[in-house]
């Protein structure tokens, strides 16, 4: 086992757990925020398990997923906008719970949790199908176009899964104001995809033909 990679993964996992806890419980003003505990459970337990699996079977893929050093200027803007969106969404969810602005029935949170877990499974399948996935927009050495499985349905199945994840998250927290904020992810991710496809068309052989073969970017028959 790569002890350095393991240490980096544990540090980032712990930092993420603490950050999500602070962003939910502080604005809520209490630890008695059941939906926040539900989200933390369905978010971090599968993440921990997936990290252990990647550590054992595909450490290079884990290393790519931990790397967030974007070189594309446009993608740095996308990361900034995404961070601000998540900050606002979590704060809104906590405040919504504290002041009971809009109270949703409990079944909404549970149904959204099911959608969230299904999206997590979809995300895991994307990672299995594409060993070139990283969190940065780049063309890697010896990279090839993947056009089978989910990539035969939409060009960006990873963004299809993250769209479901991010839209389910505020509903797990029981917050309509947070959900409204998270809808901003759609134009943000559209900006990222536009730039990413420009990079791939320029640097990845066969990608232009792949775009003609698979028409939809994120949602079959819609987008």
The predicted pLDDT at position 1 comes to 61
Could you name the CATH architecture of 3-213? Up-down Bundle (1.20)
Let me know: does 140 contact 132? Beta carbons within 8 Å.
Answer: yes
Which segments of the chain does DSSP mark as H helices, in order? 3-28, 34-57, 59-66, 73-99, 106-129, 157-172, 176-182, 185-203, 207-213
State the Cα torsion 17-23-28-34 to the nearest 10°.
-30
Q: Tell me the chain's radius of gyration from C-alpha atoms.
A: 18
CB atoms within 10 A of CB 9: 21
Domain ranges of the chain: 3-213
Please state the separation of Cα 143 from the chain's center in Å: 22
Cβ of 88: how many Cβ atoms within 10 Å? Answer: 15
Q: Cα(188)–Cα(62) distance, rounded to whole angstroms?
A: 25
Quote the CA–CA distance of 110 and 122 in Å, as a whole number.
19
Q: Which two tokens stand for residue 118?
A: 């299904």
> For the whole model, what pTM was predicted?
0.90
DSSP letter assigned to residue 153: T
pLDDT band at residue 215 using 50, 70 and 90 as cut-offs:
very high
Q: What is the pLDDT of residues 8-33, one digit of tens each?
A: 889 999 999 999 999 999 999 999 99
pLDDT tens-digit profile of 183-204? 999 999 999 999 889 988 888 8
Residue 7: burial class (beta carbons within 10 Å; 0-12, 13-18, 19+): exposed
């Amino acid at each position: 086992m790569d002890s350095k990679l393991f240490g980096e993964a544990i540090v980032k996992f712990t930092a993420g757990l603490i950050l999500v806890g602070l962003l939910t419980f502080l604005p809520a003003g209490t630890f008695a925020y059941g939906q926040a505990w539900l989200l933390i459970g369905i978010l971090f337990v599968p993440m921990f398990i997936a990290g252990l699996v990647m550590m054992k079977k595909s450490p290079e893929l884990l290393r790519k997923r931990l790397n967030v050093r974007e070189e594309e200027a446009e993608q740095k803007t996308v990361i900034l906008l995404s961070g601000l969106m998540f900050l606002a969404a979590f704060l809104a969810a906590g405040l919504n719970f504290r002041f009971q602005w809009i109270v949703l029935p409990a079944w909404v949170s549970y149904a959204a949790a099911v959608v969230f877990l299904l999206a997590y499974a979809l995300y895991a399948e994307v990672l299995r199908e594409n060993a070139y996935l990283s969190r940065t927009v780049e063309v890697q050495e010896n990279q090839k176009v993947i056009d089978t499985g989910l990539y035969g349905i939409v060009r960006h199945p990873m963004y299809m899964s993250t769209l479901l994840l991010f839209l389910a998250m505020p509903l797990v927290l029981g917050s309509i104001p947070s959900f409204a904020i998270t809808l901003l992810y759609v134009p943000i991710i559209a900006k990222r995809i536009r730039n990413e496809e420009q990079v791939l068309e320029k640097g990845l052989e066969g990608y232009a033909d792949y775009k003609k073969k698979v028409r939809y970017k994120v949602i079959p028959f819609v987008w």
